[in-house]
Amino acid sequence: MAEGLDFDGLRPRSPFMGESHATWRAALRRWIDAHIMPFAAEWDEAGAVPRELFVQAGDFGLLGAGYPEAYGGTGRGPDYDHFHGIVTSEELSRVGAGGITAALMVHGIGLPPILALGSDEMKARVAPDVLAGRRQISLAITEPDAGSDVANLSTRAERRGDHYVVNGAKLYITGGCTSQWLTTAVRTGGPGAGGVSLLLIDAASPGITRLPLKKQGWWASDTAQIFFQDVEVPVENLIGPENGGFFGIMMNFNSERLGMASGALASARVCVEEAVAWARERRTFGKRLADHQVIRHKVAEMVRRISAGTAWLDQCAWQVAQGGTPVADLSLLKVEATNTLEFCAREASQILGGASYMRGARLERIYREVRVNAIGGGSEEIMRDLAARQLAL
């Protein structure tokens, strides 16, 4: 059960977190408070984070946390496990500007397929620069006609001698305008999942056109539509076996959904923290807003949902840490976490009233980002259907 009504108190104690997690949280919070928190509103309005932030994050060790030591990361072990990763998601979410996280941590979805399936030469060529913050890498899967239906993507890569020639388009690509590398899903074979491959594409290659897209939230992170016209990609940039890319795409989703769930629940805690602080100071009809029963019930319901969701989050993370792949749990957890965020953002906004609608505040930014959390990484509908199939209904 939550122990207080601030960001830290609203997180139920986890039996899986110990001293090393507390140490990482404290160090990361100090770094975020110095390098991100004072500038969050400014960067959100500007629609970008400064390039030097990536290098600073690399120097601190944020970008390399949990990645192989051979490429400049911290490695996996007692000093960085799945629960340290949850701490990272929570602390970044405390900023209340998801676009900054999306921009800074975009390698979290673009780099893992390379580390899992790429050649040793490719890993050594790409990973050190990415983890040091010198270069960015994005994941390019979604297409205008194939969003969640990854198996039916149509961007084509034809083998011609020692190159693939790529034609097609990608849509809603996070970091697509600023990344130097694109981990790209292409069709090299027949229809369906068995004809999909992954290619590492240099974003500066001739024939690539990148267009920025304006969006509801995540302003500080660029989102792109990308066109490929006769783009030549060396054969050695194939990630894993030809026509074996679908596995590389799917294996990335479990960790992405765990991270999105932890971020959504942490953002919900921010909503409660903001609402409670306001309700304790604001006076209406001769008493504190917090003394009105309707407000107290709103807060209690928000706390209930956050506590339940966070307990489920910890259980799912423990299963993953033990080598499990609880696909149904992770799918439904993401639905629960994003529903909790949506509920808390709405209720907190009702408590703050007009103040919640003013630009520059954490709650206003979070409310704009509710939908991207519910859609990205697998929409609610896809998650429920995937869980139902896993449950063998």
Distance of CA 106 to the CA centre of its chain: 7
Give the total number of structural domains in the chain.
Answer: 3
Q: Are residues 81 and 205 in the same domain?
A: no
Domain assignment present for residue 218? The answer is yes
* Collapsed DSSP state (helix, strand, coil) of residue 303: helix
Q: Are residues 74 and 61 in the same domain?
A: yes
What are the tokens at 138?
A: 């994005």
What are the tokens at 333?
A: 């957890």
Q: Are residues 88 and 195 in the same domain?
A: no
| pLDDT at residue number 150 | 81
Domain assignment present for residue 5? The answer is no
| pLDDT at residue number 389 | 93
Query: Which residues of the chain are under the pLDDT cut of 50?
Result: none
| pLDDT at residue number 313 | 98
Domain assignment present for residue 3? The answer is no
Q: Are residues 83 and 33 in the same domain?
A: yes
CB atoms within 10 A of CB 96: 24
Please name the residue that has the structure tokens 């609402």.
Answer: 275
Residue that is last in its domain, among 223, 243, 263 = 243
Q: Are residues 204 and 315 in the same domain?
A: no
| pLDDT at residue number 377 | 87
CA distance 353 to 79: 43
* Collapsed DSSP state (helix, strand, coil) of residue 382: helix
Q: Are residues 124 and 165 in the same domain?
A: no
| pLDDT at residue number 252 | 81
* Collapsed DSSP state (helix, strand, coil) of residue 249: helix
Q: Are residues 253 and 311 in the same domain?
A: yes
CB atoms within 10 A of CB 18: 11
Q: Are residues 65 and 160 in the same domain?
A: no
Q: Are residues 103 and 166 in the same domain?
A: no
Distance of CA 335 to the CA centre of its chain: 15
| pLDDT at residue number 254 | 84
CATH value at residue 143: 2.40.110.10
Q: Are residues 124 and 163 in the same domain?
A: no
CATH value at residue 309: 1.20.140.10
Domain with 73 in it: 19-108+120-131
CATH value at residue 127: 1.10.540.10
| pLDDT at residue number 171 | 96
